[in-house]
Amino acid sequence: MNPNFGTVTIVGAGLLGGSLGLALKERGLARTVRGVGRRQCSLDTALAKGAIDEGYLNIEEAVHGADLIVVCTPAGMVPQQLDQIRGACSVSAVVTDVASTKAEICAHAEATWASPRRFVGSHPMAGSEKYGPEHATPTLYDGCVTFVEALGSQEPEAHERIVALWRSLGARVIEVDPVRHDALVARTSHIPHILAALIAELAGDACDVRAAAGRGFRDVTRIAAGRPEIWRDICLTNRAAVLEGLEQIARRLDHVRGAIEAGSGDALEAFFESARAARQKVAGE
């Protein structure tokens, strides 16, 4: 039998939150889904889509008596919202989030939550360049790799419920240490995003460039169409890992520039060959 998560409060009813609501409701995994938004119009969209049953502008009110609370807002907002939730939710509630960075958020929860804490960090790798409740879909988490903070000082039953939540939506759960998580996604997501943004910005400076932008360009820069405040928060909440990776990129870029300047065909071929092998190892299709 499927679990039932009872009354679920989703803080932030955008693409991720709205899709979570749709998925829970479609699978009959919740008694009631409450959505919290900053603006009534987003709540109205989520309500009209059937992603939530009830809309709230006040977070304390929305988490009162909820069994499961999922924070689906940009990483920079999560710690403060966890503070609000902690003071207003029932002692039996289980809390998670979906932000793309985990170390700061989990450390904040660890420092502020009563032990054993009932907050367990999550990160479903389900974002896209689209956002807003209008793009929400009940299948967003189907087959989606979802990182869940490995069991440490959390209440084991809370941890189990969060793992069960994602699995019941079809996600592939991977338990991971939050610091390790952030180092990994810096390399597979955050640094690629920053470089894609640099590529888009540079091309945008040229005139009459549209015809010369083929499928390759569109693929490389697709993620740069994402929501600026999400990526701002990711950079600010994963500073050490992002800066370390960007320093490596800068150093390697110097090396490639040197090889081009020197006309060193062998060095360039070796570089592209090594990149091709790395791509195959990391994401071979």
127-146: contacts with its own copies (CB under 8 A) = 127-128, 145
* Smallest separation, CB 160 to its own copies (Å): 21
Smallest distance from the beta carbon of 50 to its own copies, in angstroms?
26
What strands lie across the sheet with 172-176, from one edge to the other? Answer: 122-124, 145-149, 172-176
Q: Could you give the residue ranges of the DSSP H alpha helices within 58-122?
A: 59-63, 78-88, 103-112
**Three-class SS state of 120:** coil
Looking only at residues 30 through 59 of this chain, which bind its own copies when binding is defined by CB under 8 A?
Answer: none
CB of 245 to its own copies, least distance (A): 6
Q: Give the residue with the Cβ less far from its own copies, 116 or 265.
A: 265
Select 36 or 191, whichever has its Cβ closest to its own copies.
Answer: 191
Q: Does 248 bind its own copies (CB under 8 A)?
A: yes
Secondary structure (DSSP) of 130-159: --SGGG--TTTTTT-EEEEEPSSSB-HHHH
Strands 7-11 and 32-36: parallel
Positions 72 through 101 that interact with its own copies (CB under 8 A): 76
Neighbouring residues of 262: CB distance < 8 A, sequence distance ≥ 6: none
Q: Please list every residue from 170 through 189 that binds its own copies, using CB under 8 A.
A: 172, 174, 181, 183-185, 187-189
Task: Decide if residue 220 touches its own copies (CB under 8 A).
Answer: yes
Burial (CB count within 10 angstroms: exposed 0-12, middle 13-18, buried 19+), residue 147: buried
Q: Which of 125, 138, 171, 178 binds its own copies (CB under 8 A)?
A: 125
**Distance between CA atoms of residues 100 and 238, nearest Å:** 9
Residues 107/110/111/115 CA torsion (nearest 10 deg):
-170
Would you count residue 214 as binding its own copies (CB under 8 A)? yes
Size of the site for its own copies (CB under 8 A): 93
Asked if 277 interacts with its own copies (CB under 8 A), we say: yes
- Among positions 69, 70, 140, 224, the unique one binding its own copies when judged by CB under 8 A: 224
